[in-house]
Structure 1
Amino acid sequence: MKLRKSYLAIPLSITLLASAGGAVSAHNLEPAQPSVETPASDLRSALGHLLSEHAYLAAEAMRKGAEGAKDFDAAANALNDNTTDLTAAIESVYGKEAAEQFNQMWTNHIGFFVDYVKASGSNNQAAKEEALNKLDNYRSDFSKFLEIATGERLESSSLADGLQMHVNQLVGAFDSYVQGDYEKAYQYERESIHHMYLVAKGLSSAISDQFPEKFHETMAVTPAADLRAHLDHLLTEHAGLAVTAMQNGIDGSEDFEASANALAANTKDLAAAISSVYGDEAGQQFEGMWSEHIGFFVEYVKASGANDEAKKEEALKNLDGYRAEFSKFLETATDGRLKSDALADGLQMHVNQLVGSFDSFAAGDYEKAYDQAREAYAHMLNPAKGLSGSIVDQFPEKFANKMPAEMPTTGMGGTAEKDMSAEMLLAGLFAAAGVTSIAIRRRMNQN
């Protein structure tokens, strides 16, 4: 596969290096007021973005390989670009030599997945087993690499368990797809995306503990950082699944319904997050508007398939109307902390990225389609940071830092089993928030 320029590598390196630079001062310590914007939280978000995108692109590339799809090379190239960005992240923390080691091992493990796909296509059971054996050896080598790199803050045995889960999820998604169990395939894919956010939690916690002065003595695992990561996960996943469903729609793929169901399940999870903060009625309003905007994308896909320019324009017009309504909803819900004008601009970017990726795909420009898909995935980190920051500012007492100071030893998942989860934090907010969905609706009507 040809070497391609990775457009995210430089910005990510700058982000991590900026977090790692500067002298420590009193105002750089963990803030008295909880915040989603700290150097360690930024690190966690950046790693969560790239690691989860790896899982998403790997699942997509394996599926495209099984189909013999025309866009397989472009999907594989996007996965390679993601590896370049991850390598840049490692280099910005641990240096060039460590980055080269990382890149070699990470690239090899992607190759072993490709070997598995090829062996499945030729019904070569021995070759499939060989690929799995190589992935098993990779688990051991890569776990030792991370244990050493983090000064044994992450334990190789726990890391290996986390890596096995990663292998099981991607292989499970691929096997289910080949067997025609599309619902199960997308369930595995969603699990793999979520799992990589836990990997980012453990790795960012270890790095920020290893270099406290470089991350201004802030922690990657706090209630506020958990909330940001939770919204990072769901919103980036929305973008990825929307791209997949739109591609499947224009292709008439057999797994279109399953991909649409996965997207709908993501919507349910997002609505549950909103409900737990602002109440059930607000959650229902959110789900109605969010589902409607997905429907407008579906209408655009259908109109494109029918070469109906008028219907395409109508779908875009409907998306424009959604932007205004949804922006007003969020401004009201956050008591003006999020501004509707800025929100509308961000939503237009979201629309442009998804429509642009789809149009490029439909036109056969697959490289551009995947570049735009990656932009759409990355862009959703912005609303996640804005919304989580507004919620924490609204209810600071609910996000006071009560996390343990000692390092996790559970490996790639961090302290996921012991920590208060973002879902639990959100669930506790509703009882004491003092902001009801009825009040939100009233304020919206008054505006």
Structure 2
Amino acid sequence: MRTDTAARHGRGRAMLGVGLAAVLAAGPAAAATRTPGAATHDGHGAAGPPPASAALGGHRPAGLLRATAADQAVRLQALLGQHSVLAADLMRSRIRGDDNFVQAADAALGQNTEAMTALIGQLFGAATAERFGPMWSEHVVELVAYAAAVAAHDADARAHAREELIEYEEELADFFAGASHGRLSRSAARGAILMHVDHLTQQADAYAEHDYATADKLYRQSYQHTYDLGLTLAYALLPGRDRAILREPIWRLRSQLGKLLAEHAVLVEDVTRAAVTSAPDFTAAGEMINGNTRDLAAAVDTLFGAPVAEKFQAVWAPHVEQLVAYAGATAAEQPDRQQQARSALPDFEQRLAALLAPATGGRMTEAGLSAALQEHDRMLLRHADAYAARDYPQAQTIAGRTYEHMFELARRLADGFGAEVASRLPRGGPETGHGGLAGVVARR
């Protein structure tokens, strides 16, 4: 039943939890000034990763030092996709009764909410952000409430949370449709937002029922749908002069590569958690990674042809296997196996760089690309170490940096491959990423 909007907004803010409260206390400026890959210090006093652009070799053109509409559109996609993953992880940990991980996941989701609100403010103004923030926070609260009800086998509470979610999602959809000045219909907005809710609630239901194959299928669908929703919203809400760039081949390639590469990092981290805890969903988590590997190979096939795609998959799949092997060895406290997996990774990194660097026509060096891949693998190994040590806040911090690093890598690859290669992407409307790779990967 719909309640007073102002009261509901206040209740949502009050319930969002300690993690988000701490982030909100830091203020929007903190989120706005964080940059992907910026050097920081972790909880163990170790320096964080260097800026991704340094690892990739060369420097950004001067015009890219300032965030453009294209940068912000990718950022919106990235934050929405990350929201989906963090929400699913939080809901699953609540169902498992893993209270320590719940706290870390809640804090990470709070940071994502704050960053998204700050970005909305940058794109569409402070007044729009002030309306968006409470609505988005409320829908996060109800997702957690839904998971709590599933964990408690409380059918009434679950039905109430579902009812509240639908109301909040309808508010959000109406908000976006209204801000689009007619470019996004209310029916289309509601359909897209409600699908997001369905994905998350249904994956929670399947997870609670130990149907891990279904839960993980929905996990991937949720990420992919919510990521693509970012483009739909950007295309509907941005001014015409900014929307035009979202149709350019380089931007489309950057967006689609970022989607696949960031998902790779997310899924490696997911299977790491399953390996470290000997969780029953380990096999299903492994199948998710296999699916992402097939999708990446399909993308390479589209861009460079089947022979290159076959070589890519022959290197990429064993590289993923070594990352998973490291997580398993970490869980088993077998340092020799850990070292074996760690020692195997540089060979794969160099072979991948040797395969992809020539396709950039000299715009990316083999050494620079290899360094970027090494940094990516180091982050994932550090995530496994932190998670095995039950340092869940640190594990979440590393996961966030790894996620962001993938988008910097995608930018550099897209710029390096160039417009001719990017033009090989299928074309379509904004709801499909202007064609992107969705149709390609679906056929594999």
Q: TM-score, normalised by structure 1?
A: 0.81
- 1:119 counterpart = 2:149: yes
Partner of 1:196: 226
* Contact 1:234–1:266 (Cα < 8 Å) also in 2: yes
- 1:81 counterpart = 2:111: yes
2:107 and 2:412 mapped to 1: Cα distance?
31
2:139 and 2:82 mapped to 1: Cα distance?
16
- 1:384 counterpart = 2:399: no
Q: Deviations over 1:271-329 (max 9, x none)?
A: 11112222222212111211111111122122222322232222211112221111111
Aligned pairs (5 A) from 1:315-334: 315-334=341-360
* Structure 1 gaps, min length 5: 14-34, 409-413, 428-447
Cα 1:142–1:396 shift into 2, 3 Å: closer
1:380 is paired with a residue whose SS is helix
Partner of 1:50: 79
- 1:229 counterpart = 2:255: yes
* Contact 1:62–1:174 (Cα < 8 Å) also in 2: yes
Aligned pairs (5 A) from 1:212-291: 212=241, 215=242, 218-291=244-317
Look up the equivalent residue of 1:220 and give its one-letter code. L
Q: Deviations over 1:341-367 (max 9, x none)?
A: 111111121012111111111111110
- 1:309 counterpart = 2:335: yes
- 1:184 counterpart = 2:214: yes
2:246 is paired with a residue whose SS is coil
Q: What RMSD in Å do the two structures reach over aligned CA positions?
A: 2.6
Partner of 2:193: 163
* 1:93 positional shift: 2.1
- 1:416 counterpart = 2:432: yes
* 1:51 positional shift: 0.4
2:181 is paired with a residue whose SS is coil
2:247 is paired with a residue whose SS is coil
2:328 and 2:101 mapped to 1: Cα distance?
20
Look up the equivalent residue of 2:113 and give its one-letter code. T
Partner of 1:94: 124
* Structure 2 gaps, min length 5: 1-17, 37-63
Q: Deviations over 1:224-260 (max 9, x none)?
A: 3322221111110000011010111010000011011
Partner of 2:92: 63
Q: Deviations over 1:381-402 (max 9, x none)?
A: 02211222233344376579x8
* 1:68 positional shift: 0.8
1:327 and 1:105 mapped to 2: Cα distance?
44
Look up the equivalent residue of 1:382 and give its one-letter code. E
* 1:331 positional shift: 1.1
* 1:172 positional shift: 1.1
* Contact 1:208–1:219 (Cα < 8 Å) also in 2: no
Q: TM-score, normalised by structure 2?
A: 0.81
